[in-house]
Chains A and B, each alone.
Chain A
Amino acid sequence: MTLVKTKIGRRAFIRNTGLASGGLVIGFSWLASCKMTPEQVNSLPDEWFELNGFLKVGDNGMVTIMSPNPEIGQNVKTSMPMIVAEELDIAWKDVLVEQAPLNTDIFTRQLAGGSQSIRQGWESLRMAGATARHMLKEAAAQAWGVSADEITTKDGVLTHEASGNSAGYGDMASAATGIEVPEEVQLKDNGNFSIIGTDKKNVDGKKIVTGKPLFGLDVYKDGMLTAMIVHPPAFGMKFKSMNAESVKSMPGIKDVFHFEAYPEDVEKQWSDGGAIPELVAIVGNSTWECMQAKKALNVEWEEVSKLESTSYHEEALASLLEKPQEEPARKDGDVEAAFKKAAKIVESTYSAPYLAHNTMEPMNFFAHVTPEKAELLGPIQTPEFLEQTLVSRLGMPAEKIDVMMTRMGGGFGRRLYGTFAVEAAAISQKMNAPVKLVYSREDDMTQGTYRPSYKVKYKAGLDENGNLIAWHVRGAGTNDDLIFENRFPAGAVDNYLAEKHSLETNVTTGAWRAPRSNFIAGAEQAFMDEVAEAAGKDPLEFRLELFDRAINNPVGDPEKNDYDPERYAGVLKLVKEKSNWNTETGESRGVAAYYCHNSYVAQVLELENGGGDIPRVSKVTCAVDCGIVINPLAAKNQIEGGIVDGIGHSMYSALTFEEGKPEQSNFDTYRLMRNSEAPKDIEVHFVDNGIDPTGLGEPSLPPVIAALSNALYKAKGRRFYKQPFINDKPPLVG
């Protein structure tokens, strides 16, 4: 067993903490999961005993586990409690799960982002379970007059074999609350896991398939008003004037007003990045009435900065690619000298448009702000940052602000930026009433915080034996400098130069599932294919050769490279085996591998030959090294989702601008992948290495874009450089 000090989240182990704050009471019916079977409902305990902030044990042995992090569809509401339950040694059927509210006294990093929930929660979640188990054992030891070391646990039962004593956790729960919190606890050995590594279904599954209220938009409260906003129609514009009077008298409308969502003196957090300082609010009794008033309202806007078009972004990015970076991000050897003596040179440029997040549930938030307190409930990936902004925006101490998370209808990074919740609070404060702010789909899609648009140029040199001797990458993005200079193939090429630029624009951008990687992986791994072809080598073997170099004789300081070449090569070898790469199938296949969010993914994608203009993906074989897999059933779902997301967006999606105005505002013009366009089959294989868990929600998305474009090359006989691929010249259709 591993002995660990219970230092992390120490405050979580103070019994009877301030957990039962006012906000929680309101939140409970809302945030409890519906995993309960009718039998469980009938057998709810008479009394709960809280052993630490993560869990409470009922007098009948049932256990409630708090899921600390926001649930955006990445399934942490199931997988995080599984980790606690494992160390507590309770049967999963006896576990109820509740969504924890924001509580910085108990939990650390209540954030959904960077695929880090499991990785960074791993230790504290295990400790929470192990500490409670220790306290239950101590309580039993005292009751039976035996040593706690001789007591074993299994599925919520304490047993002392020598004396023949046995008791359920429920019997000892009350006494356990009086046990000293241990200074250190023993964690299970990986080989003894009975919950981790097993398939567990989504704890909210039953609620989801029966349409129970779960999401932010489903919040309805007594006396609640509905609010909508009107934001500038174009980036570079701000509010000038409006004629609100005629609209105020429309049926069901309570008020229409211009307001400063973010006055200049507000102390902003990074999560306020896409904030629009001034907005118009429409407040009414119902959503439809607000929508009607929104249509009727006439607002005048004025230009305050350049109205940018997509053609401008593309030209500006292209000109940045002609410019060397003053201090290159990374430079090994001398690429120019190597290019001069190279037997072959390969050069290509790749680009991708802006993307909207398009969570299926548009942005929304419930807020009830009174002079005494602020209650906020809704979909937010960054509750802690939201609270900090609210402290400044509402002029209220954090103790008076309760932030609670609903289940979210998608995140993908969009709900990292909780400006909509700040807007809801500002509107509630002004109306002195409970308010739910609702964005229309059009508001949601045209409001900003997009995946940046990108352009990158590669140049590679090969010697006469087809060995890669030089690699030069220069990339640029809108408000983002794109390049991860220490990722592969850095460390595997003698002469390596990475340069990056950022183009400042007034179109707001933010993290979008697998930020930067979601473009650069597709470009890098597509270029790698071109280089392998020029070298006359199999593309998968060509990559393995480079990893061999990085393993055996790395260029520069290997500590600088932020990848492990052995694990990288490991997923490639696994996908090679599982996809029968060396067997000619007659189908058009592409391979790609990428490392991001601390995890390694390799994929082989097959396209059906024949058929229509756009070949259908028949199969994606995927190898993943994310360390220990908590819940394989859900982990595969994440991998499948990332694959569909990557293929769908690189193939079909784009957000473009004309004079600062987004040209797509709903799903009639913004194309998302549909059921008949999804891969027919996705096969996922995990590397079983017992390493502590790493990211899972994002890493399968980036490489699949290259696996797709490399397969498209085989099917169509030409390379695809510009996303979305269906529009790359000549377009795949029409």
Chain B
Amino acid sequence: MAKFTLNINGTKQEVDVDPSTPVLWVLRDHLNLVGTKYGCGIAQCGACTIHLDGTATRACMTTISSVGNSKITTIEGLSEEGDHPVQKAWLEVDVPQCGYCQAGQIMTASALLEKNPNPTDEEIEMAMNGNICRCGTYTRIKKAVKLAAKS
């Protein structure tokens, strides 16, 4: 076990865990931030996507010891009132079916738009390809990303 001081959603948090623990399980099991989802554990599905210094990152394969001073943003910290343009677009288009993958989708989409505010269809697809939606909301996801890009 080792102590780590993390910067999560703008707040300093201290945890005492095994250094090999992935950020995903630190968030979920130790910090009560359950918006970041477990889907595969091997960075294949994107359900656990967070921002590490603004870059979309898979929390299930990022060990807590590798984070250092990097800023972690989770879905809970993407906006204060749930009114980030991507979140608003997701609601407007009524994207979710089961909803389980959507936090990860939104984190990937918001990181994309931060770097590329006007992505083409192909750029959206390539950026979103790491996030599986088993319910098949892909066409709505693309629509929502485009809507968010407009706002």
* A residues in contact (CB < 8 Å) with B: 72-75, 199, 201-202, 204-206, 208-215, 217-218, 220, 226, 251, 286-289, 291-292, 358-362, 407-412, 438, 440-441, 633-634, 637-638, 640-645, 648, 666-668, 672-676, 678-682
Q: By the criterion CB–CB under 8 Å, are A676 and B126 in contact?
A: yes
Q: Are B139 and A441 in contact, CB atoms less than 8 angstroms apart? A: no
Across the interface, do B139 and A682 meet the contact criterion of CB distance under 8 Å? yes
Q: Which residues of A contact B98 (CB under 8 A)?
A: 72-73, 359-361, 407-411
CA distance A302 to B41 in the complex (A): 29
Nearest CB in chain A: distance from B29 CB, A: 4
Q: Which residues of B contact A (CB under 8 A)?
A: 1, 17-18, 20-22, 25, 28-30, 32-42, 44-45, 47, 74-76, 78, 82, 87, 90-91, 94, 96-103, 106, 121-122, 124-126, 128-129, 131-142
List 5 A-B pairs, Cβ < 8 Å.
Answer: A211-B36, A213-B34, A407-B98, A642-B136, A667-B44
| Those 9 A-B pairs whose CB atoms lie nearest each other, nearest first | A211-B35, A644-B136, A409-B100, A73-B98, A211-B75, A678-B138, A208-B99, A676-B125, A667-B44
> Are the C-beta atoms of B75 and A674 separated by less than 8 Å?
no
Bound-state CA distance A208–B133 (Å) is 14
Of A440, A641, A668, the most chain B CB neighbours within 10 A belong to A641
Q: Contacts A206-B82, A410-B100: A359 and B34 contacting too (C-beta < 8 A)?
A: no
Given contacts A360-B132, A409-B37, 18 further A-B contacts (CB under 8 A): A202-B96, A209-B90, A288-B17, A291-B41, A359-B100, A360-B47, A360-B98, A407-B99, A438-B38, A441-B42, A640-B137, A640-B139, A644-B137, A645-B136, A667-B45, A673-B138, A676-B122, A678-B136
CA distance A214 to B25 in the complex (A): 17
Alpha-carbon separation in the docked complex, A215 to B39 (Å): 13
Contact of B40 among A220, A359, A441, A673 (CB under 8 A): A441
Residues in chain B near residue A410, CB distance under 8 A: 98, 100, 134-135
Nearest Cβ on chain A to B112's Cβ, whole angstroms: 12
Closest-by-CB residue of B relative to A211 is: B35
A38 CB to nearest B CB, Å: 9
Contacts of A75 in B (CB 8 A): 97
Question: B39 — nearest CB in chain A belongs to which residue?
Answer: A360
- The interface residues of chain B lying within 8 Å CB-to-CB of A291 are 41
Tell me which residues across on chain A come within 8 A of B42, comparing CB atoms.
441, 666-668
Inter-subunit contact A201/B91 (CB<8 Å): yes
Whole-angstrom distance between the alpha carbons of A518 and B140 in the complex? 23
Contact A287:B29 (CB < 8 A) given known A205-B96, A361-B100, A676-B129: yes
* A360 in contact with B25 (CB, 8 Å): no
Q: A217-B37, A360-B45 are in contact. Are A637 and B94 (CB under 8 A)?
A: yes
Which single residue of chain B is at the shortest CB-CB distance from A642? B136
**With A and B bound together, what is the CA distance between A568 and B38 in angstroms?**
42
Whether B134 lies near A359 (C-beta < 8 A) is yes
Determine if A361 and B94 form an interchain contact, defined as CB atoms under 8 angstroms apart. Answer: no
Query: Chain B contacts of A73 at CB under 8 A?
Result: 96-99, 135
Chain A residues contacting B90 (CB-CB under 8 Å) are 205, 209
Chain A residues with CB under 8 Å of B128's CB are 675-676
Our pick among B32, B35, B131, B141 for the contact of A210 (Cβ within 8 Å) is B35
Q: How far apart are the CA atoms of A206 and B40 in the complex, in Å?
A: 25
Given contacts A211-B34, A360-B37, contact A643 B136 (CB under 8 A): yes
Contact B76 A211 (CB under 8 A): yes
Bound together, the chains give a CA A214 to CA B103 distance in angstroms of 12
B18 contacts A641, C-beta separation under 8 Å = no
B29 touches A637 (CB 8 A): no
Contacts of B34 in A (CB 8 A): 211, 213, 217-218, 220
| B35 A212 Cβ-Cβ under 8 A | yes
Q: Which residues of A contact B76 (CB under 8 A)?
A: 210-211
Name the A residues within 8 Å of B103 (CB-CB).
208-209, 211
Q: Is there contact, CB below 8 Å, between A640 and B136?
A: yes
- In contact, A675 and B136 (Cβ under 8 angstroms): no
Bound together, the chains give a CA A501 to CA B1 distance in angstroms of: 57
A641 near B29 (CB under 8 angstroms)? no
Whether A208 contacts B102 by the Cβ 8 Å rule is: yes
Residue of A with least CB distance to B84: A209
The answer to whether B136 touches A201, judged by C-beta atoms less than 8 angstroms apart, is no
Question: Contact between B32 and A220 (Cβ–Cβ < 8 Å)?
Answer: yes
Shortest CB distance A703–B (Å)? 15
Nearest Cβ distance between residue B133 and chain A, in whole angstroms?
A: 8
Contact check, B36 vs A288: say whether CB atoms are below 8 A apart. Answer: no
Residues of A within 8 A of B91 (CB): 201, 205-206, 209
Q: Is the CB of A668 within 8 A of B94?
A: no
Cβ contacts under 8 Å, A409 to chain B: 37, 98-101
Smallest distance from the beta carbon of B121 to chain A beta carbons, Å? 8
Residue numbers in B under 8 Å from A681 (CB-CB)? 139
Assembly CA distance A676 to B34 (angstroms): 28
Q: Considering the chains assembled together, what is the distance between the CA atoms of A638 and B139 in angstroms?
A: 12
> Given A204-B99, A208-B102, A211-B76, A637–B137 Cβ distance below 8 Å?
yes
Instruction: Indicate whether A251 sits within 8 Å of B18 (C-beta atoms), given known contacts A360-B101, A409-B98, A676-B125.
Output: yes
Q: How far is the CB of B138 from chain A (nearest CB, A)?
A: 4
Contacts of B37 in A (CB 8 A): 215, 217, 360-361, 409
Q: How far is the CB of B116 from chain A (nearest CB, A)?
A: 16
A409 to B37, CA, bound (A): 10
Complexed CA–CA distance, A212 and B125 (Å): 26
In the complex, the chain B residue whose C-beta lies closest to that of A672 is: B132
Task: State whether A288 touches B22 (Cβ < 8 A).
Answer: yes
Q: How far, in angstroms, from A217 to B60 measured CA to CA in the complex?
A: 15
Most buried by B among A211, A645, A668, A674: A211
**Cα distance A210–B106 when bound, in Å?**
9
CB–CB B47/A287 < 8 A = no
Residue of B nearest to A251 (CB): B18
Complex Cα spacing A213 to B99, Å: 11
Q: A668 CA to B101 CA in the complex, in Å?
A: 17
